[in-house]
Structure 1
Amino acid sequence: MKKKHKKNDNHLEKKNNISLKVTDIEFRYRETHPNAVDGVSFEINHGEYVTIIGHNGSGKSTISKIIIGVLRPHKGKIEVFGNEMHATTLTEIRRFLGIVFQNPDNQFIGSTVRDDIAFGLENRCIAQKDMQAIIDDAAKKVGMLDYLDHEPLMLSGGQKQRVAIASTLALQPDIIIFDEATSMLDPKGRQEVKQIMVDLKNTRQKTIISITHDMDEIINADKVIVMNKGKMVKCGRPEEILYDADFLKGIHLDVPFISRVINGLREKGLNVNNTLDMGELVKDICQK
């Protein structure tokens, strides 16, 4: 049985509206190895939806582990709402953070969906009388309200991941990190999880950080951070990243589907406008 955390009322306050500030962080797994993360700095404002992309070994997953405090940088600092992360603040800073991992099976604790969502609330010492409303609200947000009495391991991959997201939402974190959360799902499950990210973005009540190699996912982001060989090589709006095909190919990243369609149409002589919206592209084609 997992040990429950003792209740701690000495919560840190939000000192500003910058949900995450990373300053010159460096990390290496072994002294003889090059830095897995090398001098990376960026800021994320509260309510933004940010994707961190890069090929395998680029350092993007290492950054997610540093953000949640699993790894400690050898240099630089992490600030969450103005509170610097270190040994004495880590536990309280984690209250601002929630994370959804790649494999939802690794996150299940309870024998039912209801029990699984309740587990984190029990660890936070939430009163029993208040739990059900929180569980229902979290399950409803991810479309799993009708599955509360189902066994998690009997669900589809996409449903399992939605339960994992509900368990995170129930704890009401201000920042949610999706660490390759769609990579093990089929197309239907992948689309369901991506839509949840978009829905959360639209409320502007959470900061969403998605670590991903799904180039179609970044279309919906407010900002894209591109990693290569441990360094942040570019940071900008999706359209600034997606239409730089030479840059993407140079760091071994795919061009998103909509960009490939536009490039293909232009090669056939049809002059269409740059867009990240497939509906806009279809409308543009029909007007030609």
Structure 2
Amino acid sequence: MAKKAKKTNSKLEKLNDISLKLTDVEFRYRENHPNAVDGVSFEIKHGEYVTIIGHNGSGKSTISKIIIGVLRPQKGKIEVFGNEVHSSTLTGIRKFLGIVFQNPDNQFIGSTVRDDIAFGLENRQIPQKDMQAIIDKAAAKVGMTNFLDHEPLMLSGGQKQRVAIASALALEPDIIIFDEATSMLDPKGRKEIKQIMVDLKESREKTIISITHDMDEILNADKVIVMNKGQMVKCGKPHEILYDEEFLKSIHLDVPFVSRVIDSLRLNGLNVKNTLDLRELVDEICQK
């Protein structure tokens, strides 16, 4: 049984180091309809980088909405750092969370990057004298220091998402959720955002949860949760998921690019070992 949430000056405390725990969670959008999420249980420790993958309709986006409190499950329990999510704790729990959505244009409030990052700080009633240092630090983490006085809507897709990430980081969340955050970007923009995720992972200061259908993105994760038809059908390390090509095909997920290259090389008589690292594969080919 989850411990009763403790409060200090209306702020929830961390009761353990489990960033997120779902226990037998079920959700359906309408009565007499199939469950969009069906008996899902998993836990994510603080500092982990976890990807939740699945094709359209698998339940991964519904899971995301449940985590941030937009949807309330009909059954099961959600805990954030040991605090059970319900109506009386939701405001406090949301302070643990930072969200980066699919379309950054829908998140912009300010007329400049600086104003946009400041918006969340103003809502948290951060003293004006402290704001600039916080804004500068957040912008520096995502490489946007030189764009603070630019209009967000005039930036590239990758730059816009970096601003959205900076706005989330400025609020010092313990958990950052990337909800299909790279799906609308060009290859350059996707690469930029993936690198920021890796940098955040390596610091181990925050829990990173990425909801995605980008199979190449999961290469950097500590753990992968696979959703299909509302259920968690597999959970493991990236290599445990990606080397099982028959499993991926059975739930209509793409095989990552590096795996397709390896298959093609083997079909053409070049025996190479399994790897998830394209650079490692290139090095091996060069040595043959």
> Offset of 1:287 from its aligned partner?
2.3
Match of 2:3 in 1: none
Match of 1:90 in 2: 90
User: Number of aligned pairs?
Assistant: 281
Deviations 1:13-57 (A, max 9, x none): 111111000100000000121000000000100000000000000
Match of 1:211 in 2: 211
- Matches of residues 163-182 of structure 1 in structure 2 within 5 Å? 163-182=163-182
- TM-score normalised by structure 2 residue count: 0.96
CA distance in 2, matches of 1:192, 1:282: 22
> Offset of 1:271 from its aligned partner?
1.4
Superposition CA RMSD, Å: 0.8
- Matches of residues 138-287 of structure 1 in structure 2 within 5 Å? 138-287=138-287
CA distance in 2, matches of 1:110, 1:283: 47
**Residue type of the partner of 2:113?**
V
CA distance in 2, matches of 1:81, 1:20: 6
Match of 2:4 in 1: none
Identical residues among aligned pairs (%)? 83
CA distance in 2, matches of 1:113, 1:63: 30
> Offset of 1:228 from its aligned partner?
0.3
CA distance in 1, matches of 2:284, 2:147: 42
Match of 1:27 in 2: 27
Moved more, 268-277 or 108-117: 268-277
CA distance in 2, matches of 1:33, 1:182: 31
Q: SS state of the match for residue 70, structure 1?
A: coil
> Offset of 1:286 from its aligned partner?
2.1
**Residue type of the partner of 1:263?**
D
- Structure 1: which 5+ runs fail to align? 1-7
Q: SS state of the match for residue 78, structure 2?
A: strand
Runs of 4+ residues over 4 Å off in structure 1: none
CA distance in 2, matches of 1:155, 1:43: 37
Q: SS state of the match for residue 211, structure 1?
A: strand
Match of 1:73 in 2: 73
CA distance in 2, matches of 1:278, 1:156: 27
CA distance in 1, matches of 2:267, 2:223: 29
**Residue type of the partner of 2:150?**
H
